[in-house]
Amino acid sequence: MEDHPVYSWNSKNILVVEDDESSAYLLGTFLKETGASITYTTDGNEAVDFVRKHPETDLVLMDIHLPNKDGFTATREIKSFARDVVVIAQTAYAFSMDHLEAKRAGCDAYLTKPLNMSLLLDKMDGYLS
């Protein structure tokens, strides 16, 4: 049995922006073990509204290809009023232009799907610890 780090983010607030129900469920399964407060939205408009109403949000896991407002646009809007919120972009479309666009939009990190959960949690820990 492989040892894995135990993350303790009891005082942290994480928003998962994911329109795919199975992906959201998988993320939630891994994140609930951290003790963080997890909220879910399914599109970019909801994400922007949520962060605006909840300035205590510490980190956003932002899918890029979303209905109504894509993750790049949502990230730009969030960063315009909440510069300290960490945004980690995630996408199944691993085009090099997406990585560049994520950086331009203000994303703090960029990961491709399928997500390596160990890598994701380690990257999140770097921002949340």
Section 59-84 average pLDDT: 95
The better pLDDT of the pair 30, 4 is held by 30
Question: Does the structure show a pLDDT above 70 at 4?
Answer: no
3-state secondary structure of 68: coil
- Look over the chain and give the mean of its residue pLDDT values, rounded to a whole number: 91
Question: Does the structure show a pLDDT above 80 at 5?
Answer: no
Instruction: Decide if 14 contacts 61 (C-beta within 8 A).
Output: yes
Confidence of residue 2 (pLDDT cuts 50, 70, 90): very low
Pairwise CA distance, residues 96 & 58, whole Å:
27
- Stated pTM of the model: 0.92
Pairwise CA distance, residues 28 & 20, whole Å:
12
What would the two tokens of residue 27 be?
């993320």
Pairwise CA distance, residues 52 & 64, whole Å:
19
Instruction: Decide if 63 contacts 91 (C-beta within 8 A).
Output: yes
3-state secondary structure of 117: helix
| Nearest-5° Cα angle at 110, 107 to 115 | 140
Sign of the dihedral through C-alpha 80, 104, 92, 86:
negative
Question: Does the structure show a pLDDT above 80 at 70?
Answer: yes
Residue-range domains of the chain with CATH: 13-128 (3.40.50.2300)
Q: How far apart are the first and last CA of the chain?
A: 26
The 10s digit of each residue's pLDDT in 28-63 is 998 999 999 999 999 999 999 999 999 999 999 999
Confidence of residue 24 (pLDDT cuts 50, 70, 90): very high
Question: Does the structure show a pLDDT above 50 at 1?
Answer: no
